[in-house]
Chain A
Amino acid sequence: GEDVEQSLFLSVREGDSSVINCTYTDSSSTYLYWYKQEPGAGLQLLTYIFSNMDMKQDQRLTVLLNKKDKHLSLRIADTQTGDSAIYFCAESRRTGRRALTFGSGTRLQVQP
């Protein structure tokens, strides 16, 4: 199957760390992605990780990949109100179609 699952909502206080989780079922996934969608806008690619890596860091963002459990997480350090958005996890497959499979999105609310 190609299901990608995320929790729907996360609320954190400004300055705290946020951790958004995602599970996927397709073991042939090659890349896994995190996208951000601000209100009224399209999706913006934040970062991606190749399936043979287990961690990637980019400024305040840390992506962790546990291939055994098919679990992906996005950690945002020092979360700011501008980080309030919907975050989508997505995967691409090693073979087959070029389209990505997206999760349902996690709405992150940052409280001042």
Chain B
Amino acid sequence: DVKVTQSSRYLVKRTGEKVFLECVQDMDHENMFWYRQDPGLGLRLIYFSYDVKMKEKGDIPEGYSVSREKKERFSLILESASTNQTSMYLCASSLDRLPYEQYFGPGTRLTVT
């Protein structure tokens, strides 16, 4: 079974803190993704990576950065957390070929106070 794990299910941070969200997949997938999910807005793509050290901005990259030093691990970094970054963060991975089936982790609910 494909497994995508995320480092925390729940996280509470203060405004201005630097936050790291970690994601690991065990299926040797080339592509990895970070989304945020907000009620009524569905999933919005923050960043994705198609190879080690490669990354591309998604639809809402402002306030975020990413790191992919190893194929199985993709980190999302909030340089200075703000209250409008309170959200559910979902990581996913896929092979780099159609149909690009994405496999998701369980999500991290981040609250910034």
Least Cβ–Cβ distance between A110 and chain B, in angstroms: 20
B101 and A45: CB pair below 8 A?
A: yes
Where chain B touches its partner, the secondary structure class is strand
Q: Which of A31, A42, A97, A104 contacts B99 (CB 8 A)?
A: A31
Residue of A at shortest CB range from B30?
A: A98
Least Cβ–Cβ distance between B9 and chain A, in angstroms: 8
A8–B106 Cα gap in the complex (Å)?
22
Instruction: Tell me which residues across on chain A come within 8 A of B58, comparing CB atoms.
Output: 99
A88 and B33: CB pair below 8 A?
A: no
A105 and B42: CB pair below 8 A?
A: yes
A99 and B103: CB pair below 8 A?
A: no
Given known A-B contacts A50-B99, A92-B98, A103-B42, A98 and B106 have beta carbons under 8 A apart: no
Residue of A at shortest CB range from B35?
A: A102
Least Cβ–Cβ distance between A100 and chain B, in angstroms: 6
A14–B9 Cα gap in the complex (Å)?
31
Q: Which of A8, A45, A103 contacts B102 (CB 8 A)?
A: A45
Number of A-B contacts (CB under 8 A): 60
Given known A-B contacts A50-B99, A99-B48, A100-B100, A42 and B4 have beta carbons under 8 A apart: yes
Size bin of chain A's contact surface: 20 to 34
A42–B42 Cα gap in the complex (Å)?
13
A104 and B42: CB pair below 8 A?
A: yes
Given known A-B contacts A104-B42, A105-B42, A98 and B99 have beta carbons under 8 A apart: no
Instruction: Tell me which residues across on chain A come within 8 A of B43, comparing CB atoms.
Output: 43, 88, 102
Q: Which of A8, A40, A92 contacts B40 (CB 8 A)?
A: A8
Instruction: Tell me which residues across on chain A come within 8 A of B31, comparing CB atoms.
Output: 98
B90 in contact (CB, < 8 A): yes
- Residues of A whose CB lies within 8 Å of any CB of B are 4, 8, 30-31, 33, 35, 40-45, 48, 50, 88, 92, 97-100, 102-105
Return 10 A-B CB contacts under 8 Å, by A number.
Answer: A30-B99, A42-B105, A42-B106, A43-B90, A44-B104, A92-B98, A100-B100, A102-B42, A102-B43, A103-B42
